[in-house]
A and B are shown apart, each in its own frame.
Chain A
Amino acid sequence: MNCDDYKQAIGADPSFDGGAGHRSECQSCQEYRRDMQALDLTIGRALALDVPELVMPSLDDVDTGDVVTLKSRRPVAMKTWFSVAATVALAVFIGFRFGPGNISGNVSLADEILAHVTHEPAALQVSSQKVSDDHLNKVVPASIADMDHSAGLITFAETCPISGYDVPHLVIQGEHGPITIMLLPNEKISAAISLNDEKSHGVILPVGDGSIAIVGSRGEKLEDVQKKILQSVKWET
């Protein structure tokens, strides 16, 4: 492998692990590899756009016949856009304060969870010290979930008050930092709620008569953890 081949391979995939013999002898390629890996971190962060709250379409009419096609958005002038934005902002404000219980409750739950994560110092610590199985079993009773370290290294497990209930609060170490998991067997929600703030993202997922909240750093991939936690919870069955 020569420099061109190596750089081509690294440019296509900075995690490329071949060509170790060439790399060890070529300072230029070592430098190129470091540059590309650093570049990829920035690309990953730049790609992680803020995601608006999930709005489920009305699915009741879609069971038969052709899929409904939404009307294309008409282009709107800047002035009109600002008027619409102001109206939406007002509607959101009114919705937050005076909206129906379900919507208001979901917003409050999302806010409460994000606030709890932010203000729980242990939830933000990077650690390699896992909690003992005994302690984990005390915090997460078998009636709630079969929890072990298969979803990731659990470094924090405590019971915390959320929305009037004491619920298990777990922290797993992810690739980009701690991932917070809250098991909420008493918080029934009608649809998934997206969680976003400046530094973190996540979701509250409906699970039977309860829900689970998963929050990680921006850029953290939460799918694997979500799947494992969904498999472990008991109250749905």
Chain B
Amino acid sequence: MQSSNADIVRRKRFDQIVGVFHQDMYRYAAWLCRDKAIAEDVVQESMLRAWKSLEALRDDTAAKPWLLTIVRRENARYFERKRLETVDIDNLTASQAALLAEQPDDDLRDMRAAIYELDDDYREPLVLQVMMGYSTNEIAEQMELKQGAVLTRLHRARAKLREVMQQQAAL
């Protein structure tokens, strides 16, 4: 009975953590891999990993970076198994195109396409900062970079996006 109660408590804890952060997990995965179907796979695998190692999470207030680190590793594992191919934005698969097709607003559609085309090295810190609310220190830790490198990548990412949006506006 005690074991059963412990299982219920564990499951409840897991459901709550994942319930709160699954949107962040999905969006992070989707912007890492740029493919809806793969993102769903990565999130599913991340949840399995998280469930298995739930006891490693000592403090639930650290659940978000813990889960996002798992997502990052699962994404890397996915592409270790399947060689990452260069994405041509004019020739996307249905699942890749689905990521860009949701936004009815022209500006947002252009911005989403511009973010999609950013190099992985620039796109990931931007996602972590703008969407996940990470500080540059936290991004450096997550990506195993020096803070100076993170600052440079963020600056270049925004400069690129600004340039693309200005070109779009001029058309």
Using a CB–CB cutoff of 8 Å, the interface residues on chain A facing chain B are 8-9, 11-14, 35-36, 39-40, 42-52, 54-57, 59, 62-63, 67-70, 72-73, 75-76, 78, 81, 191-192, 194, 201, 203, 205-208, 221-223, 226-227, 230
Contact = CB atoms under 8 A, between A and B. Distances in A.
A230 B12 CA distance: 12
Given A43-B130, A72-B82, A73-B37, A62 B51 contact: yes
Nearest to B26: A51
A35 B166 CA distance: 11
A229 to B, nearest CB: 10
B132 to A, nearest CB: 9
B26 A11 contact: no
A201 B133 CA distance: 18
Contacts of A191: 15, 19
Interface of B: 11-12, 14-16, 18-24, 26-27, 30-31, 36-38, 40-41, 44-45, 47-49, 51-52, 61, 64, 78, 81-82, 93-94, 99, 102-103, 107-108, 111-112, 115, 126-127, 129-131, 133, 136, 150-152, 154-156, 158-159, 161-162, 165
Given A39-B162, A52-B36, A62-B52, 16 more contacts: A11-B159, A12-B150, A14-B158, A39-B165, A43-B115, A43-B161, A44-B131, A46-B108, A47-B112, A47-B115, A48-B131, A52-B26, A73-B37, A76-B94, A205-B16, A222-B20
B154 A46 contact: no
Contact of B94 (A14, A45, A81, A192): A81
B94 A43 contact: no
Contact of B38 (A39, A42, A51, A73): A73
Contacts of A192: 15-16, 18-20, 22
A50 B108 CA distance: 13
A48 B20 CA distance: 16
25 contacts: A8-B151, A9-B151, A12-B155, A13-B136, A36-B158, A39-B158, A42-B107, A43-B111, A43-B126, A43-B130, A44-B130, A49-B30, A57-B51, A59-B51, A62-B51, A63-B52, A72-B81, A73-B37, A75-B93, A203-B19, A205-B16, A206-B12, A206-B19, A223-B21, A223-B24
B5 to A, nearest CB: 13
B41 A72 contact: yes
Contacts of B45: 67, 69-70
B41 A70 contact: yes
Nearest to B53: A67
A106 B146 CA distance: 46
A40 B94 CA distance: 28
A51 B154 contact: no
Contacts of A68: 48
B89 to A, nearest CB: 15
B102 A50 contact: yes
A150 to B, nearest CB: 15
Nearest to B16: A205
A47 B51 contact: no
A39 B16 contact: no
B131 A45 contact: no
